[in-house]
Amino acid sequence: MSFIFQQARLLNPLENLDTIGSIQVSNEGKIERLLLGSDPIPAAPGDRVIALQGKILAPGLFDMHCHFREPGQEYKETLESGANAAAAGGFTGVALMPNTKPVIDSPLGVAYIRHHAASLPVDLEVIGAMTVGSRGEHLAPYGKFRSYGVTAVSDDGSAIQNSQTMRLGFEYASNFDLLIIQHCEDNALTAGAVMNEGLFSAKLGLKGIPEVSEAITLARDLLLMEYLEEHKLHDPLKRARYHVAHISTRAALDLVRKAKRDGLQVTCEVTPHHFTLSDEDLFLAEKKGNYLMKPPLSSRENRDALLEALADGTIDAIATDHAPHAPHEKECPPDQASFGIIGLESSLGLTITELVNKGVITIYRAIELLSVNPRRIMQLKPILFQPEEEANFAIIDPELEWSLTLDSLRSRSSNTPFLNRRLKGKATAIFHKGKLLEGGKP
Ligand code: DOR
């Protein structure tokens, strides 16, 4: 028996592929046949035919920035509930940030996640902590991480404040060819603050986060990278690679543009909430907790700068920063709320509704941002639509109108400002590990 994905729009930017065609996949999940054009692949008795006229067959989406809270805070999300939420959103793989309890700062934590991931429907890549306990003081064991298959390190949730630690981090990470993912924030500027500093924080009487906080940390890091490269203080063949998590301001985007022009190996990601919302939405919202995250929702001007950077290629990836929190951590006074929102189940819908359908980017570029580029940045095996390759697909209905409801959520948490928002475009299924999952369910 085989699966026949019949008459889809096959869209794989990695292969410059955007055409009608069909793909036959063996029972074990290997691609057996690719037929371009609108003729169907003939089915034998027992074959499972998935009719895909009007639908897109894309490489499985990959979210390079998620928090699944296991070990330690399973009441917010487990590896299993997070994986199911990912599958429901069209993702066949995610990268997990290490700020669990305890922090994933040793091979033991990596092994724990790998062990539990084996039976889950999506791949879970582990990002190791940059420093022990993510305390920003002593570097974690990068060499051991590498030997456990880790490809990136991060202290996401906070940034390394000490420039000497950061310098050593660059040298050590480049030695082991690990990507550094930085959460850019200057703690002295943001201490005790809740939302973007500006008219709306003033109106609400909430302490504001100055937007320069992001660019200040980023500028320091880029100066260090430049310094280390110019002075050849590390093996020139082992150049540092640096990725800006959840970029949110024009000033930071301009720094990334310059760094790319200067030839530094720098990439950046944006979240759907930052390209969709501004601090005015927080001001107008009744339940403010679901609009609070780090970096904060910024001004409309900065939101528009993100749209420009998505269109001009400055932004390399869309990542959710899926950050589950329980109701009591969100439905409380804003200055006591936990930062972050869930995003796996709304990411593709928001990308198509807010970016593709409004003409900011094409669906082809959306797939680059949601699948091809994050896999490349994380040094993962590319997904090819070729015979002998593992079938790893997201099936997308670009016309489907829907909204995320409390009942339909697969995540254990529901902290999102996007509940009941009308969206157009949805992943209806994934195919991965030899299994077809529709709506995240077999
Ligand atoms: O809002 C956020 N929440 N931003 C982060 O960087 C971390 C995340 C979390 O872990 O909750």
Is 183 touching ligand 1 by the criterion CB < 6 Å?
A: yes
* C-alpha 107 to ligand 1 mean position (Å): 23
Asked whether residue 314 is assigned to any structural domain, the reply reads yes
274, 188: one domain? yes
Q: Which residue(s) pair with 33 in the sheet? A: 24
416, 303: one domain? no
166 in Cβ contact with 160 (< 8 Å): yes
Asked whether residue 310 is assigned to any structural domain, the reply reads yes
| Atom number of ligand 1 nearest to Cα 339 | 1
Is 103 touching ligand 1 by the criterion CB < 6 Å?
A: no
Q: Which of 327, 343, 377 is the last residue before a domain boundary?
A: 377
Is 157 touching ligand 1 by the criterion CB < 6 Å?
A: yes
149, 235: one domain? yes
Asked whether residue 395 is assigned to any structural domain, the reply reads yes
| Atom number of ligand 1 nearest to Cα 341 | 1
336: buried, middle or exposed (CB in 10 Å: 19+, 13-18, 0-12)? exposed
21, 153: one domain? no
Is 339 touching ligand 1 by the criterion CB < 6 Å?
A: yes
Asked whether residue 382 is assigned to any structural domain, the reply reads no
Q: Could you tell me the sign of the dihedral formed by the alpha carbons of 160, 164, 167, 169, in that order?
A: negative
3-state SS class at 435: strand
Is 209 touching ligand 1 by the criterion CB < 6 Å?
A: no
* C-alpha 183 to ligand 1 mean position (Å): 9
Neighbour-count burial for 2-14, b at 16+ CB within 10 Å, e otherwise: bbbbbbbbbbbbb
| Atom number of ligand 1 nearest to Cα 323 | 11
| Atom number of ligand 1 nearest to Cα 97 | 10
Residue 441 has a pLDDT of 64
The tokens 């409004």 sit on which residue?
Answer: 358
* C-alpha 199 to ligand 1 mean position (Å): 24
Instruction: Give the Cα separation of 437 and 262 in Å (integer).
Output: 44
Residues (pLDDT < 50) of the chain are: none
- Nearest to residue 231, comparing CAs of 241, 219, 242, 240? 240
Residue 396 has a pLDDT of 98
Asked whether residue 306 is assigned to any structural domain, the reply reads yes
Structural tokens at position 28:
């074990």
157, 32: one domain? no
Instruction: Give the Cα separation of 67 and 81 in Å (integer).
Output: 12
Is 297 touching ligand 1 by the criterion CB < 6 Å?
A: no
Range of the domain at 97: 61-377
Residue 233 has a pLDDT of 61
15, 123: one domain? no
| Atom number of ligand 1 nearest to Cα 67 | 10
* C-alpha 184 to ligand 1 mean position (Å): 12
Q: Which of 328, 353, 377 is the last residue before a domain boundary?
A: 377
45, 71: one domain? no
281, 167: one domain? yes
Q: Which of 338, 354, 377 is the last residue before a domain boundary?
A: 377
Q: Whose CA is nearest to atom 3 of ligand 1?
A: 340
Instruction: Give the Cα separation of 378 and 373 in Å (integer).
Output: 8
365, 348: one domain? yes
* C-alpha 46 to ligand 1 mean position (Å): 47
Is 412 touching ligand 1 by the criterion CB < 6 Å?
A: no
* C-alpha 415 to ligand 1 mean position (Å): 12
Whether residue 321 lies in the annotated active site? yes
- Cα distance between the two ends of the chain: 17
Is 67 touching ligand 1 by the criterion CB < 6 Å?
A: yes
Q: Whose CA is nearest to atom 6 of ligand 1?
A: 157
359: buried, middle or exposed (CB in 10 Å: 19+, 13-18, 0-12)? exposed
213, 161: one domain? yes
The torsion angles phi and psi of 246, rounded to 5 degrees, stand at 25, 65
For residue 338, the domain's CATH number is: 3.20.20.140
Site to substitute for ligand 1 among 100, 104, 156, 190, most atoms within 8 A of C-beta: 156
Asked whether residue 384 is assigned to any structural domain, the reply reads no
296, 417: one domain? no
Residue 235 has a pLDDT of 66
The DSSP secondary structure of 366-408, one letter per residue, reads: HHIIIIIHHHHHTTPPPP--STTSBP-EEEEEEEEEEE--TTT
149, 117: one domain? yes
Question: What's the total number of domains in the chain?
Answer: 2
Asked whether residue 333 is assigned to any structural domain, the reply reads yes
Catalytic residue among 123, 221, 321, 397: 321
Residue 231 has a pLDDT of 80
Is 293 touching ligand 1 by the criterion CB < 6 Å?
A: yes
Is 99 touching ligand 1 by the criterion CB < 6 Å?
A: yes
Q: Whose CA is nearest to atom 5 of ligand 1?
A: 157
Asked whether residue 383 is assigned to any structural domain, the reply reads no
What secondary structure letter does DSSP report for 139?
B
208 in Cβ contact with 198 (< 8 Å): yes
Instruction: Give the Cα separation of 169 and 163 in Å (integer).
Output: 10
| Atom number of ligand 1 nearest to Cα 340 | 1
For residue 13, the domain's CATH number is: 2.30.40.10
Is 340 touching ligand 1 by the criterion CB < 6 Å?
A: yes
